[in-house]
């Protein structure tokens, strides 16, 4: 199911100099915001939750998910180098599964770690805020990676669609239309975080059982479907 | 002994038919897939390589369907035309990765790099390679598992003459050792130098198949047209028309040139300079007026 060579190639492609720099921008910004908030307004649990929920979970993690998820396969399909993976006696779902693991790992490192650090800077993990949002970040990393990896497999415009989903659906639409929040990775991961944080500091519109079912369902179905799509990936000629 | 069988295979993209009802068998030895750009060679190779499903018909390797069958890659090695190839790796890292994906180790990679004479640059990043070097590393990646079938899409593009000769040598050796080697090209001379067997594709159709000499003769025996300017067109015309290699000459007064139709290519090319010298005529320009590959191929299709 997991191929170390595919993983190595994917890591190197994802963490190439330019992409790694892009991946670092938002985490650095998050920590900068945390330091600034702490310096200007001191320790406040609600503020800490607002910063982590409003910026880290709502904006930073989906964007990193887009970069890592689509970046784990999209560029290879675009430039044709995926041929070297496909022309091997290797089950294509293995390629997808391996790339998913890599995308998850990268998304987790670049989102959960800075979320945890920022939480500690903001209120020193008071009310378990830092830990709760870190758990949410870890959970969200899995679902986003699977979703955006599928997107990178099926569409050449994966980054644009991913950005629209991350910014318009999760952030804007979700804040206007209640129903959209039920279908939001962000809300599902908040439902998980809700359990560990102090009372009333984190709220989700989705109940925990439903959230877990949706998280697992989306991850499994997206990964399975991406594997199927890769099996019939058509490399059109240059002509 | 590995054979690729293409039976009544067609492939269309929307309304465009790229490959139209092609039936051919590619067996051991070197086969050249010849055709002008856009004729459907890449589409055909992509179908043989399992990257494209035939819209109709079948493409099989020793009886097994190639599409959606990853196990065929134990026998097939592919050298794609596209340049994308993990530029951030060194040549060695790239070939080692390809070997690992076949379940092989570093020795296989080193052997393949030695075969294509790329060891001297194996520690450089692929991004710094010339086109010919990339081509050879691609070749090494396709050879790591010593496949019995090798598919190459326009392998000589961008190679200098020395590299070209070297690759031809290598392919020839592979063909002689009983492997099935198929390469595409739009350059007749390339195909002629390397392949004993030629398949010609024109506008998606299988135009000709067989021994290169037969096809070459078809190509050279067709009427050739030349536009010739000389110091004395009429004397030259009179002397040329006396020879059976010339079928017709028109004195184009407005152009100030002769339009000559030659039926025996070899004889005419020898005749023209000789006649000019004998009559002390200066040849100012001699240009073939229908030498485009398209016209050569379209002649083949109608032949």
Most B-contacting residue of A4, A76, A87 (CB-CB within 10 A), to test interface:
A87
Express each pLDDT in A36-93 by its tens digit: 999 998 888 889 999 999 899 989 999 999 999 999 999 999 999 999 999 999 999 9
Spatial distance between the Cα atoms of A85 and B43, rounded to a whole number of angstroms: 19
- Chain B hits for A98, CB-CB cut-off 8 Å, are none
- Chain A hits for B103, CB-CB cut-off 8 Å, are 89
| Cβ separation A12–B81 shorter than 8 A | no
Spatial distance between the Cα atoms of A23 and A107, rounded to a whole number of angstroms: 9
| Alpha-carbon torsion, ordered B112, B113, B117, B123, to 10 deg | 180
Each residue of A141-180: b (16+ CB within 10 Å) or e? bbbbbbbbbbbbbeeeebbebbbebbbebbbebbeeeeeb
pLDDT at A238: 41
| Cβ separation B85–A84 shorter than 8 A | yes
- Chain A hits for B43, CB-CB cut-off 8 Å, are 237, 239
For A92, the closest of B52, B70, B80 (CB atoms) is B70
φ, ψ of residue B152 in degrees (nearest 5): -130, 125
Note the pTM of the prediction, 2 decimals. 0.84
| Cβ separation B78–A90 shorter than 8 A | no
Q: Is B53 on the interface with A (CB under 8 A)?
A: yes
Is residue A140 within 8 A of residue A63, CB to CB? The reply is no
> Where do we find the tokens 């490399």?
A235
- Chain A hits for B70, CB-CB cut-off 8 Å, are 88-92
- Chain B hits for A73, CB-CB cut-off 8 Å, are none
| Cβ separation B78–A83 shorter than 8 A | yes
Minimum CA–CA partner of B95 in chain A = A84
pLDDT at A175: 73
| Cβ separation B88–A16 shorter than 8 A | yes
**In B18-127, where does DSSP find H-type helix?**
41-48, 91-101, 106-115
- Chain B hits for A236, CB-CB cut-off 8 Å, are 13, 46, 52
Spatial distance between the Cα atoms of B186 and B208, rounded to a whole number of angstroms: 14
Q: Is B43 on the interface with A (CB under 8 A)?
A: yes
Q: Is B75 helix (H, G, I), strand (E, B) or coil?
A: coil
pLDDT at A239: 35
Per-domain boundaries in chain A = 4-238
- Chain B hits for A89, CB-CB cut-off 8 Å, are 70-71, 73-74, 102-103
Closest Cα in chain B, distance from residue A94 (Å) = 11
pLDDT digit of tens for each residue in chain B (303 aa)?
A: 789 999 999 999 989 999 999 999 999 999 999 888 888 999 999 999 999 999 999 999 999 999 999 999 999 999 999 888 999 999 999 999 999 999 999 999 999 999 988 999 999 999 999 888 999 999 999 999 999 999 999 999 878 888 888 889 999 999 999 999 999 998 877 888 888 888 989 889 998 888 877 776 676 666 778 889 999 888 999 989 988 888 889 988 888 889 998 888 788 888 999 999 999 999 998 887 765 555 666 666 665
Provide the phi-psi class of B226: left if phi over 0, else alpha when psi is between -120 and 50, else beta: beta
For A9, the closest of B84, B86, B102 (CB atoms) is B86
Each residue of B130-165: b (16+ CB within 10 Å) or e? eebbbbbbbbbbbbbbbbbbbbbbbbbeebeeebbe
Spatial distance between the Cα atoms of B27 and B271, rounded to a whole number of angstroms: 41
pLDDT at B221: 67
From the CB of residue B97, how many other CB atoms can be counted at a distance below 10 Å?
A: 21
Q: Is B100 on the interface with A (CB under 8 A)?
A: yes
> Where do we find the tokens 């800490």?
A48
- Residue B25's nearest CA partner among B6, B53, B48 is B6
Is residue B86 within 8 A of residue B43, CB to CB? The reply is no
Most A-contacting residue of B51, B141, B184 (CB-CB within 10 A), to test interface:
B51
| Cβ separation A88–B53 shorter than 8 A | no
Low-confidence residues in chain A, pLDDT < 70: 236-239
């Amino acid at each position: 199911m997991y191929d170390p060579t595919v993983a190595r190639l994917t890591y190197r492609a994802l963490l190439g100099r330019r992409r790694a720099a892009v991946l670092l921008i938002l985490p650095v910004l998050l920590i900068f915001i945390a330091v600034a908030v702490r310096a200007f307004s001191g320790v406040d649990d609600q503020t800490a939750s607002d910063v982590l929920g409003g910026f880290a979970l709502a904006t930073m993690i989906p964007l990193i998910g887009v970069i890592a998820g689509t970046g784990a396969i999209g560029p290879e399909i675009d430039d044709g180098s995926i041929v070297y993976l496909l022309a091997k006696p290797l089950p294509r779902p293995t390629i997808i599964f391996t790339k998913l693991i890599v995308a998850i790992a990268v998304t987790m490192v670049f989102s959960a770690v800075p979320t945890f650090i920022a939480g500690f800077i903001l209120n020193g993990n008071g009310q378990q805020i830092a830990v709760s949002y870190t758990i949410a970040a870890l959970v969200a990393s899995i679902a986003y990676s699977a979703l955006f990896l599928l997107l990178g497999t099926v569409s050449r415009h994966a980054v644009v669609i991913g950005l629209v989903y991350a910014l318009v659906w999760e952030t804007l639409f979700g804040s206007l239309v209640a129903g959209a929040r039920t279908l939001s990775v962000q809300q599902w991961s908040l439902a998980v975080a809700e359990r560990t944080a102090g009372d009333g500091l984190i709220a989700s519109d989705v109940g925990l059982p439903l959230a877990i079912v949706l998280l697992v369902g989306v991850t499994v179905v997206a990964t399975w479907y991406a594997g199927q799509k890769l099996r019939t990936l058509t490399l059109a000629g240059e002509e | 002994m590995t054979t690729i069988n293409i039976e009544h295979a067609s492939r269309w993209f929307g309304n465009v038919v790229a490959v139209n009802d092609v039936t051919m068998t590619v067996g051991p030895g070197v086969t050249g897939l010849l055709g002008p750009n856009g004729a459907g060679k890449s589409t055909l190779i992509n179908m043989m390589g399992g990257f494209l499903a035939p819209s109709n018909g079948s493409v099989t390797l020793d009886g097994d369907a190639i599409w959606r069958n990853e196990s065929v890659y134990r026998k097939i090695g592919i050298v794609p035309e596209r340049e994308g190839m993990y530029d951030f790796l060194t040549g060695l890292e790239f070939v080692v990765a390809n070997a690992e994906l076949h379940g092989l180790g570093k020795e296989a990679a080193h052997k393949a790099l030695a075969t294509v004479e790329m060891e001297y640059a194996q520690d450089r990043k692929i991004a710094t390679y010339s086109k010919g070097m990339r081509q050879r590393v691609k070749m090494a990646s396709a050879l790591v598992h010593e496949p019995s079938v090798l598919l190459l899409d326009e392998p000589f593009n961008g190679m200098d003459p020395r590299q070209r000769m070297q690759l031809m040598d290598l392919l020839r050796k592979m063909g002689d050792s009983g492997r099935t080697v198929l390469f595409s090209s739009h350059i007749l001379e390339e195909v002629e130098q390397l392949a004993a067997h030629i398949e010609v594709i024109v506008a998606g159709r299988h135009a000709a198949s067989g021994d290169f000499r037969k096809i070459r003769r078809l190509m050279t025996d067709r009427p050739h047209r030349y536009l010739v300017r000389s110091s004395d067109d009429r004397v030259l015309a009179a002397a040329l028309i006396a020879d059976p290699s010339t079928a017709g000459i028109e004195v184009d007064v407005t152009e100030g040139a002769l339009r000559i139709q030659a039926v025996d290519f070899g004889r005419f090319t020898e005749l023209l300079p000789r006649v000019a010298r004998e009559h002390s005529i200066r040849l100012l320009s001699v240009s073939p007026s229908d030498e485009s590959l398209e016209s050569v191929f379209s002649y083949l299709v109608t032949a």
